[in-house]
A and B are shown apart, each in its own frame.
Chain A
């Protein structure tokens, strides 16, 4: 019976041929490790966010008078509502962590070099859009934490001369955070940002499929020995292993690890990303005693706090974002991909990581 169903589908869709062409014939390079699967894990994490987000939409009401109550209803009254809300909440934090580790790995492997500049830019842009999705998502439950985090976040751009006030006003849809802000953030969080993220994701995956996965720099010959790249050349990795089943097993393992982390946090630390103020309805006339941004914004938050000149602090964050986005064009010289032979690049990468960690911890306890 089962075989007949499979055959019926096979005759009409040709799944076997599809798997052969896109997975068995797609070779992964030698040295493709578990780290190389993090992009795929981020994709799965995004799908989890999309599915749980759509489910929450069934009961969520994007109105200042109803938003908080509707989220409380989802959490406390709808069967398994707490589960889907927590998966969405915790998953949103894990996806950021996965993308950061993925980007650090790509940086350390120097995989952004020609011809993969667009792949890096699309990935970095996706990262920034995911962060925007996090910012817009935090306001939707209309609790004290989200409301005041949004107030602070939307005030920061106003320090910039000339355009600052305009950006703040555009974000809020007025002078202060209100129902209009909620409507704006809702449409950005639910429609606009996901559409752009999916578009970039398609471009990112298309480029990877067209160019092939990048080889580990420890295996790849030095740039000096390789012929200059003047026309499109796919890396077929004829001596590599097929994507399916070998590399797919690594992917499956990492996806299971992702779910393990997700459910571990859900089980043992369900309120890790929900401070006590997240259980209080937003009050525009009462700022809670301690309002901190999410962990991934602690470093820029502390940086802006530390530098006495607000304009300089914000400018530094903007410059860092632009450098991150266009890094392949900044490090464009033909210097080979083995970072161990590029002590300056390695030191720069490790310094930025160390500073990011220091500012994050500092921000957490300041």
Chain B
């Protein structure tokens, strides 16, 4: 190998190594840290949510809506619309959940009724006692 070629190859190798040494930590640096929020339970008094009403809560950093459906009991659904992530709101007059961004509609089981969303709203497990409801 000629001396000039050796020098060029060495420079290319060193340059690439240097670049990777910077790009690798830089790309790792851009990954956000995992949330340190602990998996906890959230307990709410039943009398805070009369039949036909809903309560918006934050559970482990996720916005949820806890609905007391007439005749069907309690259900906890994620408020994050499965279309583009806006927060859905409870429409007590029509018994459905509506996304204000693109008019997506969900029933009180979280299933899509209309609009651009294709997936149902995630449902959260509940433990119901005589006076209280526990999410998680």
Indicate if the CB atoms of B25 and A78 lie closer than 8 Å. no
A242 to B46, CA, bound (A): 83
3 tightest A-B contacts by CB?
Answer: A80-B25, A79-B28, A77-B33
Residues of A263-317 at the interface with B, using a CB-CB cut-off of 8 Å, are none
Residues of chain B within 8 A of A81, CB atoms compared: 29
Indicate if the CB atoms of A84 and B33 lie closer than 8 Å. no
Residues of B27-59 at the interface with A, using a CB-CB cut-off of 8 Å, are 28-31, 33
Residue on B nearest A80 in the bound complex, by CB: B25
Interface of B is mostly: helix
Residue on B nearest A252 in the bound complex, by CB: B11
Count, chain A residues at interface, CB 8 A: 10
Q: How far is the CB of B3 from chain A (nearest CB, A)?
A: 14
Q: How far is the CB of B67 from chain A (nearest CB, A)?
A: 35
Indicate if the CB atoms of A73 and B30 lie closer than 8 Å. no
Residues of chain A within 8 A of B29, CB atoms compared: 55, 58, 78-81, 84
Residues of chain A within 8 A of B33, CB atoms compared: 73, 77-78
Residue A83 interfacial (CB < 8 Å): yes
A203 to B33, CA, bound (A): 42
Residue B6 interfacial (CB < 8 Å): no
Residue B26 interfacial (CB < 8 Å): yes
Residues of chain B within 8 A of A73, CB atoms compared: 33
A78 to B28, CA, bound (A): 8
A81 to B30, CA, bound (A): 9
The interface of chain B, by Cβ under 8 A from chain A, is: 25-26, 28-31, 33
The interface of chain A, by Cβ under 8 A from chain B, is: 55, 58, 73, 77-81, 83-84
Q: How far is the CB of B108 from chain A (nearest CB, A)?
A: 39
A146 to B12, CA, bound (A): 42
Q: How far is the CB of B18 from chain A (nearest CB, A)?
A: 9
Residue on A nearest B30 in the bound complex, by CB: A58
Residue on A nearest B31 in the bound complex, by CB: A79
Q: How far is the CB of B28 from chain A (nearest CB, A)?
A: 4
Residue on B nearest A83 in the bound complex, by CB: B25
Q: How far is the CB of B30 from chain A (nearest CB, A)?
A: 7
Residues of chain B within 8 A of A77, CB atoms compared: 33
Q: How far is the CB of A262 from chain B (nearest CB, A)?
A: 13
Q: How far is the CB of A256 from chain B (nearest CB, A)?
A: 10
A-B contact pairs, 21 of them (CB 8 A): A55-B26, A55-B29, A58-B29, A58-B30, A73-B33, A77-B33, A78-B29, A78-B33, A79-B25, A79-B28, A79-B29, A79-B31, A80-B25, A80-B26, A80-B28, A80-B29, A81-B29, A83-B25, A84-B25, A84-B26, A84-B29
Residues of chain B within 8 A of A79, CB atoms compared: 25, 28-29, 31
A80 to B26, CA, bound (A): 8
Residue on A nearest B26 in the bound complex, by CB: A55
Q: How far is the CB of B21 from chain A (nearest CB, A)?
A: 10
Q: How far is the CB of B15 from chain A (nearest CB, A)?
A: 11
A344 to B33, CA, bound (A): 60
Q: How far is the CB of B32 from chain A (nearest CB, A)?
A: 8
Residue on B nearest A81 in the bound complex, by CB: B29
Residues of chain A within 8 A of B31, CB atoms compared: 79
A83 to B29, CA, bound (A): 10
Q: How far is the CB of B13 from chain A (nearest CB, A)?
A: 14
Residues of chain B within 8 A of A78, CB atoms compared: 29, 33
Residues of chain B within 8 A of A84, CB atoms compared: 25-26, 29
A77 to B35, CA, bound (A): 11
Residue on B nearest A73 in the bound complex, by CB: B33
A78 to B33, CA, bound (A): 6
Residue on A nearest B29 in the bound complex, by CB: A80
Q: How far is the CB of B74 from chain A (nearest CB, A)?
A: 37
Residue on A nearest B28 in the bound complex, by CB: A79
A78 to B26, CA, bound (A): 11
Residues of chain A within 8 A of B28, CB atoms compared: 79-80
Q: Which of A77, A79, A83 has the most CB of B within 10 A?
A: A79
A321 to B1, CA, bound (A): 56
A79 to B26, CA, bound (A): 9
Q: Which of B29, B31, B33 has the most CB of A within 10 A?
A: B29
Q: How far is the CB of A180 from chain B (nearest CB, A)?
A: 29
Residues of chain A within 8 A of B25, CB atoms compared: 79-80, 83-84
